[in-house]
Amino acid sequence: MRHIMLTICLVLFMGLFAGLAAASDFQDMDICLGKQIVARTLCKDPIEINYVSKVRDNIYLFSVFYANKETHFFVGVYNDMIRVQGKEFHTITRSIPYHFDATAKCGVVDYSPPDCLVNERIVCCSQKTVEEELDEKFWDRPIPDLLEEDMRNALQSANATQPSTPGDGQPKTPAQQ
């Protein structure tokens, strides 16, 4: 009985851990978030942070010139948490909550370390597919233009389905008048 309970607890724990460590589908967004978070943690400009490589699913390696030498940082992006750890400086370890906006495909982080004056919200979005860009371009147009285009399409389809009669849409000749 004791072994069964231990096995059940182990399976539940592994299922919970696997759910938390699920890899993101948006690697470009994860890299952007990692770069921004490392920069914010060290109070540096994000341009100074370099993406090195993907270590494993949802874990990335970044490098930066810090403390008079090149230093590396691991960044793990999970479902609702970003974890930063220095490779050489183990004392630099942060767990930062973040929110993923599924409709916009953007990660949003409110993080401001006390010794850094920057307190802007960090927003990183995944690249949109061609279809999503076309859809966004369509909806960014003014409503009167959308309505006019819709009415024009409706009139064209109505005219295409009606049988044409002689003289319809053509100027009348003097004999027809």
Interatomic CA distance for residues 106 and 17, integer angstroms: 24
Q: Within the chain, how many helices (H) and strands (E) appear? A: 4, 8
What pLDDT is recorded for position 15?
44
In the DSSP assignment, the letter for residue 166 is T
**Longest CA pairwise span in the chain (Å):** 104
User: Where are the extended beta strands (E) located within 57-166?
Assistant: 59-66, 69-77, 81-86, 93-97, 99-101, 106-109, 122-125
In degrees and rounded to multiples of 5, residue 12 shows phi and psi of -65, -40
Interatomic CA distance for residues 36 and 47, integer angstroms: 9
What pLDDT is recorded for position 129?
65
Cβ pair 98, 107 in contact under 8 A:
yes
Q: Which tokens sit at 167?
A: 């003289």
What pLDDT is recorded for position 93?
87
Global pTM exceeds 0.85: no
Interatomic CA distance for residues 32 and 12, integer angstroms: 33
First to last CA, the chain: 101
Q: Please list the rounded mean pLDDT of every run of 10 residues in the chain (177 residues).
A: 43 41 69 93 92 93 89 92 88 88 88 87 82 67 78 80 58 56
What pLDDT is recorded for position 6?
38
What pLDDT is recorded for position 133?
61
